[in-house]
Amino acid sequence: MTRAGRFVVLALALGAPLPALSQAPAPETEIEGRWDVRWAQGIRNNADGSIEIQRWGDAVLDLTVADGLVEGSWTTDVLERVVWAVSGQWQDGQLRLEGTENDSGNPELDIVERMTLSARLIDGALEGEVRLHIRGRDRIPGARPFTGQRGEEDPERTK
């Protein structure tokens, strides 16, 4: 029996807990769940290509992951509460999502034809950018930075 095998047998016999054997979380569980997000909701696109943040907003990003494919929702208030259905990929530490449908019936929000989100997991927090693609505008929209922290489930949202 190898030295490591004898250690395991001895630890089990003594009832001692075994040390973690490189038990990194599965890639899916790294981003799966609820994220409380702070994002640059109001921006001004400057002529030089930079953006000026005019207003910060809050959002909730709920994600489920299976085999690298991500589905979920992005819930925020823009004139009213809006929920975007999002889907995309979690691959090589990069999250990429797109939303093309939302639950708003407000015609003022119909100008946003889709949203895209990209982020990385850095020290347990999501850091990335959201882009709102406005109907009829061909130029690339300004990147709206965001950060996300693990959130607690809200019983009001599951009703």
pLDDT tens-digit readout, 17-37:
444 443 444 455 689 999 999
pLDDT tens-digit readout, 102-148:
888 777 777 888 999 999 999 999 999 999 888 877 666 678 999 99
Q: Is the pLDDT of residue 159 over 80?
A: no
pLDDT of residue 110: 78
Tokens describing residue 82: 């809006």
Average pLDDT over residues 42-67: 90
Q: Is the distance from CB of 37 to CB of 146 less than 8 angstroms? A: yes
Higher-confidence residue of 98 and 5: namely 98
